[in-house]
Amino acid sequence: MTTKKPTILILCTGNSCRSHIAEGILRKAAGDLLDVQSAGSKPAGYVHPLAIQVMNEIGIDISGHRSKPLSEFLDGKVETVITVCGNADQACPIFPGQVNRHHWPFYDPAHAEGTEAEKLQVFRRVRDEMRSVFEAYAAGRTDR
């Protein structure tokens, strides 16, 4: 008998950077136990190229990810929703229904300014912050 893996949905507004970084990290850390997905309330329609680049640097390929609307998941069974919107002025999406919820805010690296190298520094910093949080979450889930 196969049991369906619990779905973890990582939400952000644009579903172009942070949610994909988190999805990639959590899928690598616990994808054998969890069905990890991401979506946005106002999807940007693309995955940010610098997010793809900084994830490749740590051996995680998110180039096949796509920016998805939250509505794709409203009819499915979602066990846990994790929002990763960081700025207070952003409208973080709300997921209806009785689910476990976590709000772990991170700065949006898409707002980074400066040279390409300076932007990459911001993407790497956010990736590393997210990696610490999501690997710890995965470790807690695998200890169950």
**69: CATH:** 3.40.50.2300
Number of domains in the chain: 1
Q: Which of 9, 11, 12, 126 is catalytic?
A: 12
What is the mean pLDDT, run by run of 10 residues, along the chain of 144 residues? 82 94 98 95 94 98 96 89 74 72 93 97 98 97 76
Q: Which of 17, 54, 85, 138 is catalytic?
A: 85
12 is catalytic: yes
**Cα(70)–Cα(134) distance, rounded to whole angstroms?**
21
Indicate whether 74 belongs to any domain: yes
The verdict on whether 85 is a catalytic residue reads yes
* pTM confidence score: 0.92
* Domain region containing 57: 7-138
17 classed as catalytic: no
Tokens of 128: 């590393």
Query: Which residue of the set 92, 99, 120, 133 is catalytic?
Result: 92
144, part of any domain:
no
The H or E element that residue 124 is part of is helix 116-142
